[in-house]
Amino acid sequence: MTITITCFDRSPDGGKGLARDTRVRWALEEAALPYEVRLLSFSAMKEPAHLRLHPFGQIPTYEEGDLALFETGAIVFHIAERHAGLLPDGANARARAITWMFAALNSVEPPILELSTARILEGDKPWSAERMPLVKDRVRDRLGQLSVRLGDADWLDGAFSAGDLMMVSVLLRTRPSGILDEFPSLAAYVARGEARPAYKRAFASQLAINAGTPPAG
Ligand code: GTB
């Protein structure tokens, strides 16, 4: 059955792979699943046809036959549950890998998103300069805790899993701020993710669409 995902027709990051379709593309590539892409403008994302797929008018979405999904956590989990390569076989190891997916989305991504909001939407506010160090320190706190847990391991819990895919995807967004490089073990962890052939294919396919898009902010 054909899989179709939606993506920005012009990602605001100019092809850095930071929009959330990249993590879905990566999961599809790890699972060796072919897929098609439907490109959407910001205005098309808010039209009824897309709102029927995504109640918040965002990308990415995932369609497969009569199944339509939104939320990258749900989409990557759906792929990982049904195809080899993204979740371990043992029940406990599988539960731990899923825990890391949730940790990436619920404990690590929120302070990173707060930093993006502070920079992009609040950067011109008179109180921004005072608030920014607090926001950055909340990201540093979380990354510090994560780097302690990762230690000198390659991946978060044994072999590479959907938990690592999600965590690396989330951490990538801290690179432009310079914060990722303050944690060399996490920077190396992210680099290991980026070195995976499946990630490279996912990155290249989004870049083919977005190269030349002027980067935002
Ligand atoms: N929780 C949802 C999920 O995980 O699927 C969040 C989806 C989401 O935020 N989608 C964004 C979107 O559609 C695109 S990825 N935004 C448009 C809107 O809300 O109107 C977020 C994103 C956008 C741009 C960059 N960038 O340029 O660096 C990075 C990430």
SS (H, E, C) the chain: CCEEEEEECCCCCCCCCCCCHHHHHHHHHHCCCCCEEEEECHHHHCCHHHHCCCCCCCCCEEEECCEEEECHHHHHHHHHHHCCCCCCCCHHHHHHHHHHHHHHHHHHHHHHHHHHHHHHCCCCCCCHHHHHHHHHHHHHHHHHHHHHHHCCCCCCCCCCCHHHHHHHHHHHCCCCCCCHHHCHHHHHHHHHHHCCHHHHHHHHHHHHHHCCCCCCC
Residues 55, 96 within the same domain: no
Number of domains the chain contains = 2
For ligand 1, atom 2, the nearest C-alpha belongs to 71
Report yes or no on whether pTM surpasses 0.85.
yes
Residues 174, 97 within the same domain: yes
Range of the domain at 185: 91-196
Confirm whether 142 is domain-assigned: yes
Is residue 212 pLDDT above 90, yes or no? Answer: no
Residues 78, 168 within the same domain: no
Is residue 217 pLDDT above 80, yes or no? Answer: no
Residues with CB under 6 A from ligand 1: 11-13, 18-20, 45, 57-59, 71-72, 216
Residues 43, 20 within the same domain: yes
Residues 77, 108 within the same domain: no
Residues 57, 15 within the same domain: yes
Residues 36, 113 within the same domain: no
Is residue 216 pLDDT above 60, yes or no? Answer: no
- Give mean pLDDT, residues 64-79: 98
Is residue 11 pLDDT above 60, yes or no? Answer: yes
